[in-house]
Amino acid sequence: ALKPEFFDACVGLATVLSWKGDYTASLQELGKLVDRYPNNSMLLSLSAKVSLWSDRIDDAIRYARLSLRYDSTDTGALLAIARAYEKKLDFESAMKSVRRLLELDPHNPEAIRLRDALKEESRNTAVLSVNGENFGPDNTHFNKIVSFTLSRRVSYRSVISAGVISRDVFGSRDVAG
């Protein structure tokens, strides 16, 4: 087994690396510890956060779910899952995690802010779903889409203002935002 001070040093190094923006190196350090201590919810939760910061959204969800398997009250893991689903534009799943977090910690300021933001985002964000992949206002692939379905959270104004929509999507004319 690792000596406690070595363990702490590795966690510290991973934390400092993530603060410096070297997420890959941070995740490598955390990965070494997670391999050795796969049921350590603190390591898994930290790995979820660093994965989220580095836009490794699916890894963030995976690590956070593993953390919750070992500690069902890990509010950091619940927040990481909620933020990951928010990035995926899956507001319903994000809100489920926020509600669960608020059941555990009703006054958590980050969860309250995220809950309020999710309510607003779900009202104002266009989500275009193509073959199971969501595209939001910041996505540049709108002009390549031929077949699509609009989710119940869409407003045409948001879709149109998101960028150039090709005639393949809206018919005979191009619409620029």
CB neighbourhood size of 143 (10 A): 14
Does residue 175 have a pLDDT over 70? no
Which stretches of the chain are DSSP H helices? 4-19, 23-36, 41-53, 57-70, 75-87, 91-104, 109-124, 156-161, 167-170
Instruction: Identify which has the larger pLDDT, 25 or 122.
Output: 25
Residues whose CB falls within 8 Å of the CB of residue 13, separated by 6 or more in sequence, listed in order: 29
pLDDT in tens, 90-121: 999 999 999 999 999 999 999 999 999 998 87
Half-sphere exposure of residue 29, counting CA atoms within 13 Å on the CB side? 19
- Measured between alpha carbons, how far is residue 17 from residues 13, 59, 65, 82 in Å? 6, 18, 23, 24
CA distances from 57 to 8, 112, 147, 169 (A): 26, 22, 26, 28
Whole-angstrom Cα distance, residue 60 to residue 67?
11
At residue 162 the predicted structure's pLDDT band, cuts being 50, 70 and 90, is very low
Asked whether the predicted pLDDT for residue 127 surpasses 80, the reply is no
pLDDT value of position 120: 83
Output the pLDDT for position 153. 43
Q: Where residue 70 falls among pLDDT bands split at 50, 70, 90? A: very high
| The two structure tokens encoding residue 5 | 């001070």
Contact 111, 101 (CB under 8 A): yes
Across 112-129, b (16+ Cβ under 10 Å) vs e yields eebbeebeebbeebbbbe
Mean pLDDT for 57-71 is: 96
